[in-house]
Amino acid sequence: MAPAKKSTGKKVAPAPYPIKSKQQAKGNQNPLLESSPKNFGIGQDVQPKRDLSRFVKWPKYVRLQRQKKILYQRLKVPPAINQFTQVLDKNTATQLFKLAHKYRPETKAEKRDRLRAAAAAKAEKKEVAKTDKPVVIKYGINHITALIEAKKAQLVVIADDVDPIELVIWLPALCRKMGIPYCIVKGKARLGALVHKKTATALAFTDVNDADKAELANVISAVKTNFADKWEESRRTWGGGINGPKSNARLAKRAADAAREVAARQ
């Protein structure tokens, strides 16, 4: 048997690493134009466009209305005020405004032309044709209050964003007491546009033509379902009390610490 060879202690050199070929640049680059990465440090390249709305100093009225909205979320809002957050659904509101559009009052220009025509006819000693009193929607908080108290209003429409809210906060209670259907809709400006004003706190239907009585009855039925029938529920419902993300995170951390202490005792 042949004797085993003794190791000389020399290690075999490892195989050389394969030489990587340089990747060729994509496309034909112009050697005269060198690419230089932008430096957005202070005093360097022009900064990219960002959303800076968080850092804008907004006008005071914008800040106030945003703060008011957040306060209404944080503070506990009593039911009398919270009821103005429950507005009429979109489909019924669209139907209501279509009906109201048919009974818009005349504008100042139309009234001026009508009176001038009547005055001219009177000056010429012509007989002025007598016309029936036009059927229009009523507006003005004092006028509407008188109509409700006299039970002449068939439907009262109240805006949800009246400021100060004390102007109309009592109106739903008065309507319920007198048995008048009422509803709350979005936008005092939307109501104002119907009566040729900037804004209107409330509108009232006193009468409609025979052709539209069925449509008004449908609207009143939907309004009663959404407001009058849900009064017992809404008068117990408080609003607000919604914490912000920081408060929620702090409360969650506090609850986790308390749970950890309870687990450690057991």
pLDDT tier at 6 (50, 70, 90 boundaries)?
low
Q: Lowest-pLDDT range, 25-29, 136-140, 190-194, 230-234?
A: 25-29
Mean confidence (pLDDT) of the chain: 87
Secondary structure (DSSP) of 120-143: HHHHTTPPPPP-PPP---EE-HHH
- Look at residue 26 and tell me whether its pLDDT is greater than 70: no
- Look at residue 129 and tell me whether its pLDDT is greater than 80: no
β-bridge mates for residue 183, sequence order: 157
Q: Could you give the percent of the chain with pLDDT greater than 70? A: 92
Average of per-residue pLDDT across 47-51: 89
Predicted local distance difference test score (pLDDT) of residue 117: 87
Predicted local distance difference test score (pLDDT) of residue 193: 93
Structure tokens at 156: 């009262």
- Look at residue 7 and tell me whether its pLDDT is greater than 80: no
Query: Half-sphere exposure (CA, 13 Å, Cβ side) for 21?
Result: 3
pTM above 0.75, yes or no: no
- Look at residue 128 and tell me whether its pLDDT is greater than 80: no
Helix (H, G, I), strand (E, B) or coil at 96: helix
150 vs 228, higher pLDDT: 150
Predicted local distance difference test score (pLDDT) of residue 255: 95
How far is it, in rounded angstroms, from Cα 28 to Cα 31?
A: 9
